[in-house]
Each structure stands twice: as structure tokens, then as C-alpha cells.
Amino acid sequence: MKRFVLCGLIFVLLSTIVLADELKIKDIDAIVNGDIISDIDENQKDLEVKSGDRVDLIIEFENEHRPSTNIDIQVLDLFVSLDDFNLVSESMNFDIDAGEEVTKRVTFSVPNLEGNVYTLKIEVEGKDDDNHIQEDVKFVNLILKNDKSVFVERIKKSSSPITTASTSEVTVRFADNNLKTENSSSIPYLWISFVSFIIFIIILILILLMHKINK
């Protein structure tokens, strides 16, 4: 009985070793609008992007079979998804020799998103010369940057002695948060416009009172 159990454990162990996935995603670099970000799959590094950004993933695949085995792996499909968004679904169809590495590039555009933190999932599927399924998956934290802010750039004020109020035209500009904030000297005109309106009302009231007294 003990011999039977021992043989069973050895069989399971050997099966696990033989059927282990030898196709690995070894390294992932990213290029975001021309800026290179290395090793985004390591040390819990965040990939920071904005909606509409062009992202290139430089992915290094490895066949971990020992060179002496001569077992090649054919990479069939690559999938890149962002939570519920399918970004890349590509048939690759290339071979990796035993013990070798191959680098490929895939490109996607960041969709319009409302949240801040997402999970980028990179999956690869293939099979080896023994027709065993080979697959691997990596996860990357993706941070969506808020790229727009609103501030008052210019206030244009016009007054007329005939009307009872002043009118103001406010120009609003959208700016990149990553740029240095500009100091705007036009903001105090809001206060000036308000004070002018109050003074005009007081003068109008005085004129009406003087007109009433003269009667």
C-alpha cells in the first residue's frame, strides 16, 4: 500500500514538472507618448497615463525549456485588457527556441475613463513542440492622471451710465496640470466689478432722493 502511494506521488510530481508552463513574460517596458518607462511589471511600479495617450508595450517573452531539450514554443495569442476594456487581442504566431528570448511590441490608446486606478492585464498563450499548452499573465497598476484644470484667465468689464448694472465677460481656459500654474492679475477685477456696481446703485439712490426732495 505504501509503495502504491509513493508511486502515485512520484507520478503527480513528474506530471507537474513536465506540464509546467515554460512560456514566461520576462520583462515589460512602456513608451507613453514617446517617453520610455522601464520595467513596469516590477516593484509594483505604476504606469501613469491620460485618456487618449498612445501606449507602446515592449514585451520580452522567454522559453524556459533548457536548450538541451530542443523544445520550442509557438506563441499564438496576446491579450491586453484594462479591467472591462479589451485593448489588444492579437494573433502573434512566432516561435521561441528552447532557452531563448524574443521581444515584441504592441500598441493601444488609453480609452476615456472616469476612475483613477485600473489594472492592466497582459496575457500570452501558446503551445510547445509536445503540444502542451503554455501561458503566462502579468498585472500592472495603471493610474489615470487628471489632465485638465479650469481657471479664470481674463475678465473684460464694460459699463454704461444708462444701465443699472455692469456687465462682465469671463474667459475660461483649460490647462495641463503638469504645467506650471500662471499667476493671473485679472482675478481682482471680479472685486472691482462688484464694487463699481454697488457705487453705481448708491449714486442712483442719491439722485432719486434729491429729485424727490426738490419736488
Q: What is the pTM of this model?
A: 0.60
Contact by Cβ (8 Å): 115, 63? no
Q: With cut-offs at 50, 70 and 90, classify the pLDDT of residue 169.
A: low
Same domain for 154 and 139: no
Of the candidates 144, 165, 184, which is a domain's last residue? 144
Q: Which of 11-15, 76-80, 138-142 has the lowest mean pLDDT?
A: 11-15
Same domain for 140 and 65: yes
Q: Which of 47-56, 140-149, 174-183 has the lowest mean pLDDT?
A: 174-183
According to the model, what pLDDT value does residue 214 have? 74
Same domain for 137 and 31: yes
Tell me what the mean pLDDT of segment 134-152 comes to.
78
Q: With cut-offs at 50, 70 and 90, classify the pLDDT of residue 146.
A: confident
Same domain for 165 and 113: no
Structural domain of 167: 149-214
What is the residue-averaged pLDDT of the chain?
77
Same domain for 173 and 87: no
According to the model, what pLDDT value does residue 83 have? 86
Q: Rounded distance, CA 160 to CA 145, Å?
A: 45
Tell me what the mean pLDDT of segment 103-128 comes to.
92
Q: Rounded distance, CA 181 to CA 183, Å?
A: 7
Q: Rounded distance, CA 81 to CA 121, Å?
A: 5
According to the model, what pLDDT value does residue 198 have? 85
Strands (E), the chain: 23-32, 35-37, 46-49, 54-63, 73-82, 85-96, 101-109, 117-128, 133-144, 149-158, 167-175
